[in-house]
Amino acid sequence: MERQPNLRSLNWNTNAYENNREVALVLHGDESGAYFTELFERDWRGGITLVPVGAVIVVAVTVVPAGMLGRRIEFAGEGR
């Protein structure tokens, strides 16, 4: 069965849905599911988890350009 980790900062209240910019990301695939399952289980037990170098590179390659792009987006009602 494929695992689908949900990574989010979404708060479970009406204000979060209506007024905040919340972020939620669903990952698909057994590899990402296995990684985050192991991460959760280690945290639950109070252990230390080392992040694989490949994961750091993937995050850097995707998050940095997305952050740069996000700085250029202007939302309605946010005039400068």
Q: What are phi and psi of 26, to 5 degrees?
A: -110, 125
CA distance 20 to 74: 15
Q: Is residue 38 domain-resident? A: yes
CA distance 12 to 23: 12
* Total-model pTM: 0.40
Q: How many CA atoms lie within 13 A of 61 on its CB side?
A: 6
Q: Is residue 40 domain-resident? A: yes
Domain containing 64 equals 6-72
13-64: pLDDT as tens digits: 788 778 877 777 788 888 888 888 888 888 888 867 677 788 888 888 887 7
Q: Is residue 41 domain-resident? A: yes
Q: Is residue 78 domain-resident? A: no
- What total of structural domains would you count in the chain? 1
Q: What is the pLDDT of residue 30?
A: 83
Q: Is residue 14 domain-resident? A: yes
- Higher-confidence position of 41 and 10: 41
Contact indicator for 6, 28 with CB cutoff of 8 Å? no
Q: Is residue 61 domain-resident? A: yes
Q: Is residue 22 domain-resident? A: yes
